Chains A and B, each alone.
Chain A
Amino acid sequence: EPEVTQTPSHQVTQMGQEVILRCVPISNHLYFYWYRQILGQKVEFLVSFYNNEISEKSEIFDDQFSVERPDGSNFTLKIRSTKLEDSAMYFCASRVTIAAFFGQGTRLTVV
């Protein structure tokens, strides 16, 4: 069964460092998303991506965040200068019909 895959599963980084979280969405899907879940809180929308451009972003998705789909298969989330409060589970998702399918997540720990 096709699935969304994310790497790495766990990333530890120092505050101020750049991180890139990687995702391979399901191949025939057209819409791509990043969500995050801070420990003990709800899953929050970060950004949606369609037709090789950002279609919507939340207030969380500030200038420190960027997304790319560099080669038609990978979908990346970059955080330029990480803060302690960026520590969270980051989920990539993709969809072609109404249901979005999520990857297993990357746990980002900023120290």
Chain B
Amino acid sequence: DQQVKQNSPSLSVQEGRISILNCDYTNSMFDYFLWYKKYPAEGPTFLISISSIKDKNEDGRFTVFLNKSAKHLSLHIVPSQPGDSAVYFCAASAATDSWGKLQFGAGTQVVVTP
């Protein structure tokens, strides 16, 4: 039951350039989308979220774009820094899941090279 999909298992980007991470979903009832960053042996760290009534949300170097018609969202990180090397998870929550359960994608490993 893969309602949230991250089709790119890995991404390599040069320091200073833009990282673009993609996420697709199938459940049209999702109304909040979140991005988490995870280092090895640590828990996921919340980065940024977006409501389904918006198409863009920006926080510092992180911008999330939502295309509801395509059921697609992306996370842009610019400029990329070595400390951004981590696994990034897309997650979604549905209003029908009123207790805020998150459905996670499989994650994308980002490596930022000098």
The answer to whether A and B assemble together is yes
Contact yes or no, B99 A102, CB < 8 A = no
With A50-B99, A102-B43, A102-B45 known, 11 other A-B pairs at CB within 8 A are A31-B100, A33-B102, A45-B103, A93-B43, A100-B46, A100-B102, A101-B46, A104-B43, A105-B41, A105-B43, A107-B41
Chain A nearest Cβ from B6, distance in angstroms: 9
Q: Any chain B CB within 8 A of the CB of A103?
A: yes
Residue A60, interface by CB 8 Å? no
Chain A binding site: helix, strand, loop or mixed by DSSP?
A: strand
> Which A residues lie at the B interface, using CB under 8 A?
4, 6, 31, 33, 35, 41-45, 48, 50, 55-56, 91, 93, 95, 98-105, 107
- Which residue of B is nearest A101, CB measured? B46
The residue on A at minimum CB distance from B101 is A45
